[in-house]
Amino acid sequence: MNGPGGYLGGCLAALDDCLRGTFGYTAPATLLWREAATAREHLSQALTPDGQAYDLFGVVLDVLAQGGMHVTLA
C-alpha cells in the first residue's frame, strides 16, 4: 500500500507501525479503497496459518480506523 509520504507496509504489523510512527502519515486522512467489493470478496475468506477462517478485510479496516484513517470504499 502506498500513501501520502510513501510506503505504508506489506503486512498488518507494518501497516500498524506506519499509522502510528513517523513515516510521513499524519492523522486524520482519507483512503479511497478502489475495487473494495472485490477486496472484500477475497479478503473476507482468509485463513490463519492453522487453517482458521477470519475476515482479513474487516481486520484491515479496523487497523486503519485505529490509526486515524477514514476509509471510503469505492
Looking at residue 44, its pLDDT comes to 93
What's the first-to-final CA gap in the chain, in angstroms? 16
User: What mean pLDDT, rounded, does the chain reach?
Assistant: 85
CB 59 within 8 A of CB 12: yes
Q: Which neighbouring-strand residues pair with 35? A: none
Q: All 3 cell numbers of residue 70?
A: 477514514
CB 8 within 8 A of CB 60: no
Tell me the whole-structure pTM to 2 decimals: 0.80
pLDDT in tens, 11-44: 888 888 878 776 667 778 888 999 999 999 999 9
